[in-house]
Structure 1
C-alpha cells in the first residue's frame, strides 16, 4: 500500500468516513487550507513528510503573511467543504491527527509553535498554557 493510501485510510478511520472519496475530499480541503497557513522551515519539513499526492495539494497554496486563528482556520475548511463549523472542526481534526501520526511528534510540536494558540486541539493535543 502506498504512503498516500495509508494516509487516506488513517483519515477515513479517524473521521469515520464511509468511503475513500469522502476522506480524500476532506484530506484535500484541509491540506489546502493548512498550506495557506505555514511558512518557512516547518512548511518545507511537513511537505517533505507528506506523500507526493498530498504534498502537491499542500504546497500548491500560497501562504498568508500570518496564519489565521484556529476558529478562522475551521471556517475556511467549512467554506471549502460547504459544511457546518461543527463538521469542519471534525474534518480538520481528523486530517490533522493523521498528519501528526505521519509527521511525528517533533515536527507537530514545531508546527504548533508557529501556529496561533488553539490549533493544538485540532491536532489532537491538549492546549495547555503555562500558569503565571
Structure 2
C-alpha cells in the first residue's frame, strides 16, 4: 500500500522532531532526491511505487550523482543542500526521512536497496544489519 504524502510528512516531522511541516518537507525533498541518485533499476521503481507521488517523482528524477556517496558524504551532501544545516542536523534529517522510507518498504526490498548502497547506509535507514 502506498503511503500518503500527509502521513509521510507527519511521520518525518515526528521522527525529526521538527517544529514545522515545512522543515519536514524540506528535509524530505532533499534526502529523497539524493537517494534517487544512488538507487537504480527495479529497486528504485519498486521503492517509488511505495512512496507518495511527490517522493516517487523526486526518486525517479534524481539529481545525477557523479559517484556513489558513502554514508558520511551523503550526510554532507544533504547539509550542503539544506540552508543553515550542519553535518549534525543533516544526519538527523537523513535518518528521519530514510527511516520513514524504510517503513514504507518491506524487508526484502530494503535488503536489495541496501545492497546497492555503500556500507553504512543501514544505520541511516535505522535498520542496522548484522556484520
Structure 1, unmatched stretches of 5+, are none
1:26 and 2:18 equivalent?
no
Q: Distance in 1 between matches of 2:124 and 2:76?
A: 13
Q: Deviations over 1:78-127 (max 9, x none)?
A: 10113111111110000000011111222111111111101010000224
The residue number in structure 2 matching 1:17 is 18
Mapping of residues 1-132 of structure 1, within 5 Å: 3-64=4-65, 66-82=67-83, 83-129=85-131
Equivalences, count: 128
The CA distance in 1 between the partners of 2:68 and 2:50, in whole Å, is 21
Aligned-partner SS, 2:90: helix
Unaligned ranges ≥5, structure 2: none
Question: In structure 2, what is the Cα distance between the partners aligned to 1:102 and 1:11?
Answer: 12
**Counterpart-to-counterpart distance in 2, 1:118 and 1:24:** 25
Runs ≥4 residues deviating over 2 A: 62-67
The Cα offsets for residues 30-71 of structure 1, whole Å up to 9 and x where unpaired, read as: 001101111111111111111111111221215536521111
CA distance in 2, matches of 1:128, 1:56: 32
Name the CA distance, whole Å, in 2 between partners of 1:63 and 1:43. 14
